[in-house]
Structure 1
Amino acid sequence: MVDAGSSDSPLEEVSAGAYATEAFELLGNETRLAILVALWEEYDPFGEVTVRFSELRDRVGTADSGQFNYHLDRLEDHFVRATDGGYELSQAGLKLVRSVIAGTGLEEPTLESTAVDMACKLCGEPVAVAYEDGWVYVRCTECAGLWTDAGDRSRGHLAKFSLDPAGLANRSAGEIYAAAWVHSYQRIYGMLEEVCPTCSGPVERSLAICEDHESGGPCRNCDRHLRIVARLRCTVCKELAQAPLGTVAKYHPAVVAFCDEHGLELQYGFNDLDHIARRLEVGGSAVEQVSEEPPRVRVTTAIDGDEVALELDDGLNVVAVE
């Protein structure tokens, strides 16, 4: 329990850091928030980005010049930059407003379970896509899928992709699925390079191995169909991703070249349901644990009877290519 007399602000009791705490406190004022939104509304990424003081004050609608100047000055250290031509959002300010826009979308984000032109790779039955709480869920309409949600084993999933609500804007169900696919791969590949796509912080990479895995369906211990997956976690903002090791392997140049030689492009034109379906049908990967201590796995990608295999250590580093 926090001592009521120990601090003027509850934010001082948490561990975000003094600079971050100050930034959070700055956002608790409507005039400052209005300044940020007004600067964003005037922002043109390929044109003029600065707004003069008088114009900015008129846009915000604050009559008291002194009060407006005070709030603007408070923002300068974090979210606003003063220039000879006026004021503009700093990179932190621009990212903040973009995060709000991305997190809310232009309209209320909704997508009921909707069938798309794809078949389940397990049973061949139709696939449906739904959007819930920032996630695009890909579900088979018939079988139990590859994994289940913890606490809700009646809902089998084939895939689950994070997507900001803005990703639903002006897109059909199939286009939402494709956009979520692209966004997910960009995020995973950035984290494989150990750079967080959210905050640019360093990323920890590891193997997640279920020691008591149950085969034949989603495991009751890990809620996954796959015994071994890649786990990626930002050490700064706690962004995370979990991916099949076949996805990790398909980022390596040896596997990219192998797939290209066999008519499967991995890096271009995959914002398309037909391409996604082909990628799921061709170039499947098999995973084998070859060492327990230290943990090592072999990921083999096969097309038309040919194979390429990578051996990965616990940090997802490629230690051998066959």
Structure 2
Amino acid sequence: MDDATPESTDPADAFAALSDPARVAILRALWETDSRDLSFSELRAAVGVDDSGRFNYHVGKLTDRFVRKTEDGYRLRLAGIRVLGAIFSGVVTEDGSVEPLPFEEPCPLCDGPMTFSYENEYVSVTCDDCDRFSMRYPVPPGVFTPYDRAELPRIAESYARSMLARADDGFCSICEGHLVPALLPGSETTDLGEWELDDVPFVVYTCERCGQRLTSDLGVALLSRPLVAGFFYDRGVDVRDAPLLSFVAAHE
């Protein structure tokens, strides 16, 4: 609805407001209040800025973009929370790479061994034998922080499931825009690398706002459907626990 569309701010101006470390510290201090509004003096004490005028200048740069001024003081806006989320996830502060390790599931095309790798914030699973199967998707570094290296493939799959669930619900993981699914053959899908799967159906989710695309094998995309999940459950398979690759439709 047109009357529900919020006023927009120039993105360059919005990000320029985060250019001083004190302003990021203000966002962190408001996050750590357990949703309680902080008065100007409380917020200044939490950040540790002695000069009241200087601190007022920094708060002013954040107000109405990342911080909301209330009767009781200041609180984070959703934009401020999202900025902190990017910091906490590691996408702007950590290096997203680990050494490759063996992947437990065999290649769905040739049953050969596969390798899991994480480099430049992208997970890749590739076949060591046929070089025809590959799977690649972004994962924020912070997702892997609490886990041992051997657990990373399992955690990456859980994250992939969450991405597919959001896509299936119609939400873009980049901009929260509306995703539109389309059933396409491999020949019309640009995200498949070296796969030779021209006649295999894939589901491509495309964001109407930012253009982001997420491609899923049809067999995996259908797992959220009650009839499909029920079919497997009646045969002793819980689709929530079984590896995603066991449902890939792209078998020879």
Q: TM-score range by the shorter chain?
A: 0.7 to 0.9
Amino acid at match of 1:280: L
Q: Is the 8 A contact 1:105 1:169 kept in 2?
A: no
Secondary structure at the aligned position of 1:243 is classed as: strand
Amino acid at match of 1:120: C
Amino acid at match of 1:200: E
Equivalence for 2:3: none
Which ranges in structure 1 are unaligned for 5 or more consecutive residues?
1-16, 147-156, 214-218, 288-322
Which ranges in structure 2 are unaligned for 5 or more consecutive residues?
1-7
Equivalence for 2:50: 63
- 1:274-313, aligned counterparts within 5 Å? 275-276=242-243, 279-281=244-246, 283=247, 285=249
Matching residue within 90, 94, 98 for 2:77: 90
Residues 178-219 of structure 1, C-alpha deviations (whole Å, 9 max, x = no match)? 222122222222222222234322113223435599xxxxx9
Is residue 204 from structure 1 mapped to residue 180 from structure 2 by the alignment?
Answer: yes
Is residue 223 from structure 1 mapped to residue 194 from structure 2 by the alignment?
Answer: yes
Once the two structures are TM-superposed, the CA of residue 94 in structure 1 deviates from its matched residue by 0.7
Equivalence for 1:239: 212
Q: Is the 8 A contact 1:116 1:173 kept in 2?
A: no
Residues 33-79 of structure 1, C-alpha deviations (whole Å, 9 max, x = no match)? 23223333x24xxx454333223213333222122112212312011
Amino acid at match of 1:31: A
Equivalence for 1:171: 147
Q: Is the 8 A contact 2:66 2:76 kept in 1?
A: yes
Once the two structures are TM-superposed, the CA of residue 131 in structure 1 deviates from its matched residue by 0.6
Equivalence for 1:31: 22
Identical counterparts, % of pairs? 28
Amino acid at match of 1:192: D
Higher RCO by CA contacts (8 Å cutoff, separation 6 or greater): 2
Bigger Rg, which one: 1
Q: Is the 8 A contact 2:95 2:120 kept in 1?
A: no
Q: Is the 8 A contact 2:186 2:202 kept in 1?
A: no
User: How many residues were matched structurally?
Assistant: 241
Residues 104-144 of structure 1, C-alpha deviations (whole Å, 9 max, x = no match)? 48854331111244433444443321111111111233331
Question: More strand by proportion, 1 or 2?
Answer: 1
**Cα distance in structure 1, aligned partners of 2:94 and 2:174:** 23
- 1:7-86, aligned counterparts within 5 Å? 18-40=9-31, 42-43=32-33, 47-86=34-73
Secondary structure at the aligned position of 1:178 is classed as: helix
Amino acid at match of 1:245: L
Q: Is the 8 A contact 2:108 2:250 kept in 1?
A: no
**Cα distance in structure 1, aligned partners of 2:197 and 2:29:** 48
Is residue 254 from structure 1 mapped to residue 227 from structure 2 by the alignment?
Answer: yes
Q: Is the 8 A contact 2:65 2:77 kept in 1?
A: yes
Query: Normalising by the residue count of structure 2, what TM-score does the alignment of the two structures yield?
Result: 0.80
Q: Over aligned residue pairs, what C-alpha RMSD do you find?
A: 3.0
Once the two structures are TM-superposed, the CA of residue 248 in structure 1 deviates from its matched residue by 1.9
Question: More helix by proportion, 1 or 2?
Answer: 2
Query: Normalising by the residue count of structure 1, what TM-score does the alignment of the two structures yield?
Result: 0.64
Q: Is the 8 A contact 1:129 1:173 kept in 2?
A: no
